[in-house]
Chain A
């Protein structure tokens, strides 16, 4: 790694000033699980590392009076999946944050870092987007908000300007009879990058009919993408097989993957449908109050089955 300057501001305004002094040559450091790999490999060259973990706004989880939850951009995964309000209100986010890397990565890696890294395969991005999350951004000329669904603009590219700082992610207050689910396909059980993944969120009325939904895919396009046609396919239904099959077909049509070492176009298109169907079915079941294990739990169940 080339030598860099290390600074550790104590406030958002200080951090923004430190970023703005070196446009494009300074980068915020949260858990470092992407940034340090990029710096060591030479893929990213900067002069200044701005460690944001001394800033309370970026390192705290806050439940607001209206029930919405603010997750500081640098809060590590383990704190997210240990937080009672997030466990209770956002099971789809818990699914994704529990399968980012392994335990050591989860001790450092953050939702904010996953979002700012802008990888097409980011696991937490579709789950946050499905949950209706909003990114809170601070810059030299003030604050702005961008839906997580619109945050990524290309591989490694985001709406964030070089002099801006992602401060927190806001999850809207949980609603009755609503839930999310995220899952991905990987060849291993853990510690892998999605070949394809899907995050879904649904709200049901008192008759179990889907009134609102959101569906996002990962690893099948230059950015995580929304699938509005899958939403249309399930809204107004009770999640019957025919509706879920139509949503799956919409996801296959929306997927624009590449062939790489992790999977082929054909496999990823197919998986987009499978993952969408399962994510929607899981979200609907959870919204009805049923227990649907997350991927990290499901793998344990599967291993148990094989062992006995």
Chain B
């Protein structure tokens, strides 16, 4: 089902849907989805942190599930639908999570922020009104070395409230 030459180590064509748009790109089998997004597609919103699945900076949504894009091969994205940080905000505006992060000062250096926003938006999709504990549990795979997490957790709770009111 995958348009990949069965015996090729050279570049292969990957056809995917990224942020709702059909995308076709060439990937070496050794390249991760993170590398393909950043280096092949120039979508640099997704950040590289640890590159081994611990920090969540590169989190994207693939096939409806939050994944570490550093631990997915680009060729595995073939036929998949992917949402990155670039696909979170509505045209001409911000997602309530992005507004809440700004208003609550939930970032300092900002390198972890795209991963937190993508992860938190998935949380609110699955659980629109999470408790603080549920927010902390869901975000345990996202590391931030600046904020101490409290402001991030507050921002996510705030965004949940805003979305509940029907913003």
| Mask: chain A, 1-18; 1 = CB below 8 Å from B; 0 = not | 111111110100000000
Q: How far is the CB of A305 from chain B (nearest CB, A)?
A: 10
In the complex, the answer to whether B29 meets A37 with C-beta atoms within 8 Å is no
In the complex, the answer to whether B76 meets A51 with C-beta atoms within 8 Å is yes
In the complex, the answer to whether B9 meets A103 with C-beta atoms within 8 Å is no
Q: How far is the CB of B60 from chain A (nearest CB, A)?
A: 9
Chain A minimum-CB-distance residue to B78: A8
In chain B, residues 56-79, which have Cβ atoms closer than 8 Å to a Cβ of chain A? Answer: 56, 59, 62, 65-68, 70-73, 75-76
Chain B residues with Cβ below 8 Å from A307 are 132-133
Cα A32 to Cα B51 with chains together (Å): 13
Given known A36-B73, A189-B140, contact A2–B30 (CB-CB < 8 A)? yes
In the complex, the answer to whether A104 meets B29 with C-beta atoms within 8 Å is no
Q: How far is the CB of B34 from chain A (nearest CB, A)?
A: 11
In the complex, the answer to whether A300 meets B9 with C-beta atoms within 8 Å is no
Q: Which of A2, A5, A33, A36 contacts B7 (CB 8 A)?
A: A5
B136 within 8 A of A: yes
Chain B contact residues, CB within 8 Å of chain A: 1-2, 4, 6-9, 12, 28-32, 51-54, 56, 59, 62, 65-68, 70-73, 75-76, 119, 122-123, 131-134, 136-138, 140-142
Chain B residues with Cβ below 8 Å from A190 are 137, 140-141
Q: How far is the CB of B31 from chain A (nearest CB, A)?
A: 8
Cα A105 to Cα B136 with chains together (Å): 16
Chain B minimum-CB-distance residue to A31: B71
Cα A29 to Cα B9 with chains together (Å): 16
A54 within 8 A of B: yes
A288 within 8 A of B: no
In the complex, the answer to whether A4 meets B53 with C-beta atoms within 8 Å is no
Q: Which of A10, A36, A191 contacts B54 (CB 8 A)?
A: A191
Q: Which of A7, A41, A78 contacts B4 (CB 8 A)?
A: A7
Cα A104 to Cα B115 with chains together (Å): 11
A303 within 8 A of B: yes
Interface size grouping (class) on chain A: 35 or more
In chain A, residues 139-178, which have Cβ atoms closer than 8 Å to a Cβ of chain B? Answer: none
Q: How far is the CB of B65 from chain A (nearest CB, A)?
A: 4
Chain A residues with Cβ below 8 Å from B51 are 40
Chain A residues with Cβ below 8 Å from B62 are 107
Q: Which of B7, B59, B67, B140 contacts A191 (CB 8 A)?
A: B140
Given known A190-B137, A303-B136, contact A104–B119 (CB-CB < 8 A)? yes
Given known A103-B119, A108-B72, contact A5–B137 (CB-CB < 8 A)? no
In the complex, the answer to whether B32 meets A36 with C-beta atoms within 8 Å is yes
In the complex, the answer to whether B28 meets A3 with C-beta atoms within 8 Å is yes
In the complex, the answer to whether B29 meets A49 with C-beta atoms within 8 Å is yes
Cα A304 to Cα B2 with chains together (Å): 47
Q: Which of B66, B75, B131 contacts A6 (CB 8 A)?
A: B75
Q: Which of B8, B52, B66, B132 contacts A107 (CB 8 A)?
A: B66
Of B12, B54, B67, the most chain A CB neighbours within 10 A belong to: B67
Chain B minimum-CB-distance residue to A2: B30
Cα A300 to Cα B1 with chains together (Å): 42
In the complex, the answer to whether B56 meets A102 with C-beta atoms within 8 Å is yes
Q: List 17 contacting pairs A-B, 8 Å CB cutoff, sorted by A.
A: A1-B30, A1-B31, A4-B30, A7-B4, A31-B71, A36-B72, A49-B29, A54-B2, A101-B141, A103-B123, A105-B71, A105-B141, A107-B66, A108-B71, A190-B137, A299-B133, A300-B137
In the complex, the answer to whether A300 meets B133 with C-beta atoms within 8 Å is yes
In the complex, the answer to whether A5 meets B72 with C-beta atoms within 8 Å is no
